[in-house]
Amino acid sequence: MKLQSTNKPQRLPAGSNKKFIVKASEGGKTKTIRFGDPKMEIRRDNPGARKNFRARHGCDKGGLSKLSAKYWSCRQWRSGSRVES
């Protein structure tokens, strides 16, 4: 799969072992990150599920690097964001 641009998550094809891939860039470093369970649904529109996920993963504590899967997973679970295809 060819990544088009940096810091733009893309959905991986069915059958992959992860759900998303992103070419992350921060401070002159670039890294390819795969994240997300392909068997699970992102229930971001359910306020209870979103609050629980973000609390469980410490998304609001800050200090996350763009070069981590945790950063991108938390980014997908923001309120009002859409899941990029």
Lookup result for tokens 């209870």: 48
45-50 own/partner pairs: CB under 8 Å, 24+ apart:
50/77, 50/79
pTM confidence score = 0.83
Domain boundaries, the chain: 10-76
Higher pLDDT, 80 or 69: 69
* Sequence letter at residue 26: E
The mean per-residue pLDDT over the stretch 35-52 comes to 88
Strand partners, 30: 25
